[in-house]
């Protein structure tokens, strides 16, 4: 049973479904809603993002809140755009392969793919009939998820979570094929189906002795990336850097930045990094998923999420009271969420296909 992926995902809370983290906290959520006098009061936390970032917002528009120097070159491809026009726009912007493709409205890594050629992009476009973002591939090998908030009216904000994203790599021994190395790796085998699809054209290739292969470059847990607790990195210098960035993001007070960078020393100097995404109120302090961290428990993960929800509630109530930002209409919000359910099902289904 130790090598059974199903057994491991059932018994190790790192892999439990998201509802295992949210359902136990619903009483706290309902209590805060009662105190605020509105069931969806939290949706004013980030005024510049649709419903503060519940998953229905445009990633492209959210990223546009950043100065160009801090983000990758990106192209929004609207639904039903002719393929020829897409290629023309890519050429006019000077894109070169590989690039990253992802839905403009999406999460949990659904349909986020590294595209290596025009043929690969053509296949992607033929399968994904939704608005998508095409983004330059940032070659830096390191990535952090930094959770930040700033109480309106206060001069500085605070980092409450840092996650180091560790991409799964296998190392060749000159004997085993890539397929065998994936199967025999203590973590990669949990995502064997995914990695077999990504590397389908070279599964039978023998990886030379000492050569490493990164199995996925998408920094999402569902793509096999390991989340490591990096809260030891929180210090005054990192705080100042992130504060200086976040003060440039108008109307964003709470959420997570996903940052790719060359090395940590350069990052602290404000050099050689790009912000891949700005996440809103449904983002998580992802350090909680490091089950190997000393003292980490499922209960502590729940406490961390609840503490962040408490911060979110404080920001939302303050904006409503001091800035007179109105809470949303119940019907429009529910319609938005119902649309998201349908959209998510579609993305999830497409995500299982091989293209």
Tens of pLDDT, residue by residue, the chain (355 residues): 457 888 888 888 888 988 999 999 999 999 999 999 999 999 999 999 999 999 999 999 999 999 999 999 999 999 999 999 999 999 999 999 999 999 999 887 888 999 999 999 999 999 999 999 999 999 998 999 999 999 999 999 999 999 999 989 999 999 999 999 999 998 889 889 888 988 888 999 999 999 999 888 777 877 788 999 999 999 999 999 999 999 999 999 999 999 999 999 999 999 999 999 999 999 999 999 999 899 999 999 999 999 999 999 999 999 999 999 999 999 999 999 999 999 999 988 888 777 7
Q: What angle do CA 3, 22, 16 make, to 5 degrees?
A: 5
Global pTM value: 0.91
Number of Cα atoms under 13 Å in the Cβ half of residue 81: 20
CATH superfamily of 1-72+139-167+216-326: ATP-grasp fold, B domain (3.30.470.20)
Q: Which residues pair with 113 in a beta bridge?
A: 101
- Which burial class, exposed, middle or buried, applies to 344 when counting CB atoms under 10 A from its CB (0-12, 13-18, 19+)? middle
Burial 196-211 (b: 16+ CB within 10 A, else e): eebbeeebeebbeeee
Instruction: Return d(Cα 127, Cα 213) in angstroms, integer.
Output: 27
Instruction: Please state the domain extents for the chain.
Output: 1-72+139-167+216-326, 73-137, 169-215
Q: Which residues pair with 206 in a beta bridge?
A: 177
Fold of the 73-137 domain: Dna Ligase; domain 1 (3.30.1490)
pLDDT recorded at residue 130: 92
Contact 184, 147 (CB under 8 A): no
């Amino acid at each position: 049973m130790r090598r059974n992926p199903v057994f491991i995902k059932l018994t190790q809370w790192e892999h439990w479904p998201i509802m295992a983290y949210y359902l136990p906290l619903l009483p706290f959520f309902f209590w805060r809603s009662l105190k605020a006098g509105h069931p969806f009061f939290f949706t004013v936390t980030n005024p510049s993002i649709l419903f503060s970032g519940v998953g229905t917002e445009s990633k492209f528009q959210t990223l546009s809140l950043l100065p160009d120097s801090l983000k990758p070159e990106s192209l929004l491809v609207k639904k039903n755009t002719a393929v020829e026009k897409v290629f023309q726009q890519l050429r006019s912007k000077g894109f070169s392969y590989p690039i990253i493709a992802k839905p403009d409205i999406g999460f949990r890594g659904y349909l986020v793919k590294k595209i290596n050629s025009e043929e690969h992009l053509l296949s992607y476009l033929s399968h994904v009939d939704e608005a998508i973002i095409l983004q330059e591939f940032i070659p830096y090998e390191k990535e952090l998820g930094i959770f930040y908030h700033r109480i309106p009216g206060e001069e500085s904000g605070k980092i409450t979570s840092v996650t180091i994203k560790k991409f799964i790599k296998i190392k060749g021994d000159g004997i085993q094929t890539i397929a065998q190395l994936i199967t025999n790796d203590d973590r990669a085998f949990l995502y064997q189906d995914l990695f077999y699809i990504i590397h389908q054209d070279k599964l039978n290739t023998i990886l030379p002795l000492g050569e490493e292969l990164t199995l996925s470059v998408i920094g999402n847990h569902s793509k096999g990336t390991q989340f490591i607790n990096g809260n030891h990195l929180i210090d005054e210098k990192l705080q100042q850097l992130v504060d200086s960035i976040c003060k440039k993001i108008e109307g964003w007070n709470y959420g997570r930045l996903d940052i790719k960078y060359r090395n940590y020393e350069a990052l602290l100097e404000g050099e050689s990094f790009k912000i891949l995404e700005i996440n809103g109120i449904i983002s998580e302090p992802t350090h909680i998923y490091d089950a190997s961290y000393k003292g980490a428990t499922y209960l502590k993960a729940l406490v961390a999420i609840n503490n962040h929800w408490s911060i979110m509630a404080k920001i939302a109530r303050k904006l409503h009271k001091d800035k007179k930002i109105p809470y949303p209409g119940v019907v429009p919000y529910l319609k938005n969420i119902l649309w998201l359910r349908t959209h998510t099902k579609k993305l999830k289904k497409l995500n299982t296909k091989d293209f």
